[in-house]
Amino acid sequence: MRLPLVTPSGPPGPWTRPSRFDRNLIVIGGGAAGLVSAYIAAAVKAKVTLVEKGRMGGDCLNYGCVPSKALIRAARAAEDVRQAGAYGIGAGKPKVAFDKVMARVRDVIARIEPHDSVERYEGLGVEVLQGHARLVDPWTVEVTLKDGGTQRLTSRAIVLATGAAPVIPPVRGIDNVHPLTSDSLWDAMDGRRHPPARLVVLGGGPIGCELSQAFQRLGSQVTQVEMEHRLLVREDPEVSAHVETVLTRQGVRVLTGSRAEGFGVEHGEKWIEVADAAGTRRIGFDEIVVATGRAARTEGFGLEELGIAAGKVIETDAYLETLHPSIFVAGDAAGPYQFTHAAAHQAWFAAVNALFGGLKRFRANYRALPAVTFTDPEVARVGMTEAEARDAAIGVDVTRYNLAELDRAIVDGAADGFVKVLTRRGGDRIVGATIVGPHAGELLAEFTLAMKHGIGLNKLLGTVHAYPTLAEANKYAAGAWRRANVNPTLLSLLERFHSWRRG
Ligand SMILES: Cc1cc2nc3c(=O)[nH]c(=O)nc-3n(C[C@H](O)[C@H](O)[C@H](O)COP(=O)(O)OP(=O)(O)OC[C@H]3O[C@@H](n4cnc5c(N)ncnc54)[C@H](O)[C@@H]3O)c2cc1C
């Protein structure tokens, strides 16, 4: 007999909790969040099934981090050819074989693919099903298998790691110009001998800035349109200004404070209508990439039927649990941070809470979560910006060190950027660090470690950094903080001590 379920820890619903389950965990989605959730479950000997409807590895491997970073690497090679004259090497206009650039992008994906493959995960003890998963009730998942047939599975817990998809803003006429997104861009560019001659990039966030610079360097004339008054709005204004200056210097036409009002095609030419403070104008283009944000995939897998609310993300509590105590969410689907490392980080909380929540639960913690924009120079940050510290009413001291002073940066001809550290007023505890510069993403790791483990700037300053490295910038930033925070009484005492020692 099926009884309506009412449990003290769950919402009422017309579902019967099975008396036994054939699995401990079902994970829906084989991107970063799903793979790590499944791996953790298998590592602790739980019986776990991972269901992926598309390509294993999800967005990061197939449409996101990996292809974009491979494209950026090729774009840097082109820029190196352009800038070689500065090092006494014959420079010139790079000859970009765009089809070969895209072939390398494909090759890079293929070389990383085995890390996320069905074979690898089965070898780790995860059962992998390739098909579309749908929630039937809080413990049952129906899988429509790719090679035909359906399978019903029951599990004590489920992790939704279903990711996010690009959002196309509802601007008049946008469908008529067939906008590309990060999902469609790679296939659309594959095999082309030339990059689009005139490319519009809609959006001034990290993805928009990375793609704008890469395509400009590979030979497109890029127009980047952003309705906010600056690029990278989550960063401090000086960071936005720095990136805008660099992009503009490299030829990108950056239009901030500019809203896309409409799209159309006239005499075979596509156009975008852009409105800014000066009025409205039309700009012709050949291709457009929309990078205006990504929202959780929410349709077609049973969320509504189970009453799970979802908008830009699927709603969870601090433990990544939905209103159903058996269903958890991780990664882009849970948000708010749309990074691969955030997805992997959340996966630990979702999997552990799903498997052991009855014994102990862990709140997902994002305090030392790094974020990197892979423009050149890179923008890397951990912790708060100045504006965030101000909003949170946290008094901070701001210390800045310019790469123009750093020997290694001068040697490399890359002395363009800075390290900025926010410390709690009067102490050396790091509240946030931003680095703009070459390899900023790598350099940030030291600050991330420091923040995570409560290591202050004094300890960073007391750590030997090899010469000449870019990492010395972190130590010099700590030194600048130290100099600004020296106790004047102590200094005058020292002066008197040394004067006394001279006799
Ligand atoms: C252009 C671009 C560049 C990026 N660069 C970076 C970067 O440099 N660094 C970084 O950290 N992040 C980057 N990101 C973000 C990163 O790709 C995502 O944060 C990450 O992929 C999120 O992983 P996920 O597992 O949450 O979701 P996804 O990778 O999207 O995986 C979700 C998976 O679930 C599957 N799925 C969905 N519904 C079902 C269903 N019903 N049944 C079965 N399977 C289902 C999907 O097919 C998909 O494979 C970038 C993103 C883009 C678009």
- The enclosing H or E element of 424 equals strand 418-424
- The total number of residues shown for the chain amounts to 503
Map residue 263 onto helix, strand or coil: strand
Other CB atoms within 10 A of residue 107 CB? 12
Please report, for residues 238, 241, 369, the alpha-carbon distance to residue 245 in angstroms, rounded to integers and kept in the order given: 10, 6, 27
What does the angle CA 133 – CA 18 – CA 10 come to, to the nearest 5 degrees? 85
Mutate to test the pocket of ligand 1, among 62, 141, 162, 207 (most ligand atoms within 8 A of CB): 162
437 lines ligand 1 (CB under 6 A): no
Per DSSP, helices labelled H in 392-439 are 407-412
User: pLDDT class for 4, splitting at 50, 70, 90?
Assistant: very low
Q: pLDDT by residue (tens digit) across 362-399?
A: 999 998 999 999 999 999 999 999 999 999 999 999 99
375 lines ligand 1 (CB under 6 A): no
434 lines ligand 1 (CB under 6 A): no
297 lines ligand 1 (CB under 6 A): yes
What letters, b where the CB count within 10 A reaches 16 and e where it falls short, cover 278-292?
A: eeeeebebebbbbbb
68 lines ligand 1 (CB under 6 A): yes
182 lines ligand 1 (CB under 6 A): yes
132 lines ligand 1 (CB under 6 A): yes
281 lines ligand 1 (CB under 6 A): no
d(CA 35, CA 222): 36
Please report, for residues 205, 237, 274, the alpha-carbon distance to residue 277 in angstroms, rounded to integers and kept in the order given: 21, 20, 10
Residue 10 has pLDDT above 60, yes or no: no
Residue nearest to atom 8 of ligand 1 (CA): 65
Please report, for residues 47, 75, 95, 101, 152, the alpha-carbon distance to residue 212 in angstroms, rounded to integers and kept in the order given: 45, 11, 19, 16, 45
The rounded Å distance from CA 164 to ligand 1 centre is 6
345 lines ligand 1 (CB under 6 A): no
Residue nearest to atom 38 of ligand 1 (CA): 162
Q: pLDDT by residue (tens digit) across 119-158?
A: 999 999 999 999 999 999 999 999 999 999 999 999 999 9
Task: State residue 299's pLDDT score.
Answer: 95
Please report, for residues 24, 150, 274, the alpha-carbon distance to residue 383 in angstroms, rounded to integers and kept in the order given: 36, 46, 35
52 lines ligand 1 (CB under 6 A): yes
Q: What is the DSSP letter of 425?
A: T
Please report, for residues 134, 186, 227, the alpha-carbon distance to residue 166 in angstroms, rounded to integers and kept in the order given: 21, 14, 18
Handedness of CA 329, 332, 338, 339 (dihedral sign): positive
Q: Does residue 291 contact residue 166 with C-beta atoms inside 8 Å?
A: yes
Q: Which of 5-9, 407-411, 431-435 is the least confident region?
A: 5-9
Task: State residue 268's pLDDT score.
Answer: 94
To 10 degrees, the CA torsion angle through 92, 95, 96, 99?
-170
Residue nearest to atom 53 of ligand 1 (CA): 64
The rounded Å distance from CA 165 to ligand 1 centre is 8
Task: State residue 5's pLDDT score.
Answer: 41
Residue linked to tokens 């639960």: 361
Handedness of CA 375, 381, 386, 391 (dihedral sign): positive
Looking at every residue in the chain, the average pLDDT score rounds to 96
454: left (phi over 0), alpha (psi -120 to 50) or beta: left
Task: State residue 24's pLDDT score.
Answer: 98
The rounded Å distance from CA 160 to ligand 1 centre is 12
Q: pLDDT by residue (tens digit) across 333-364?
A: 999 999 999 999 999 999 999 999 999 999 99
The rounded Å distance from CA 332 to ligand 1 centre is 7
477 lines ligand 1 (CB under 6 A): no
Task: State residue 12's pLDDT score.
Answer: 59
51 lines ligand 1 (CB under 6 A): yes
Instruction: Pick the closest to residue 47 from 183, 182, 175, 153 (CA basis).
Output: 153
The rounded Å distance from CA 340 to ligand 1 centre is 7
User: pLDDT class for 14, splitting at 50, 70, 90?
Assistant: confident
The rounded Å distance from CA 302 to ligand 1 centre is 20
44 lines ligand 1 (CB under 6 A): no
The rounded Å distance from CA 62 to ligand 1 centre is 9
Longest dimension (CA), the chain: 99
From the alpha carbon of 211, which atom of ligand 1 is closest?
Answer: 1
What does the angle CA 400 – CA 383 – CA 290 come to, to the nearest 5 degrees? 100
Other CB atoms within 10 A of residue 179 CB? 24
* Six-digit token string for 111: 């070389």
d(CA 327, CA 10): 11
d(CA 131, CA 26): 13
162 lines ligand 1 (CB under 6 A): yes
- Helix axis angle for 340-356 and 32-43, nearest 10°, is 40
Please report, for residues 210, 253, 422, the alpha-carbon distance to residue 247 in angstroms, rounded to integers and kept in the order given: 10, 8, 26
Task: State residue 11's pLDDT score.
Answer: 57
340 lines ligand 1 (CB under 6 A): yes
From the alpha carbon of 166, which atom of ligand 1 is closest?
Answer: 53
The rounded Å distance from CA 440 to ligand 1 centre is 23
From the alpha carbon of 164, which atom of ligand 1 is closest?
Answer: 30
Residue nearest to atom 26 of ligand 1 (CA): 331
Q: pLDDT by residue (tens digit) across 62-99?
A: 999 999 999 999 999 999 999 999 999 998 899 999 99
31 lines ligand 1 (CB under 6 A): yes
Looking at residue 314, its amino acid is I
**CA 361 to centroid of chain Cα atoms:** 26
Map residue 223 onto helix, strand or coil: strand
User: pLDDT class for 8, splitting at 50, 70, 90?
Assistant: very low
Task: State residue 91's pLDDT score.
Answer: 84
From the alpha carbon of 183, which atom of ligand 1 is closest?
Answer: 53
Residues paired with 201 in a beta bridge: 224, 289
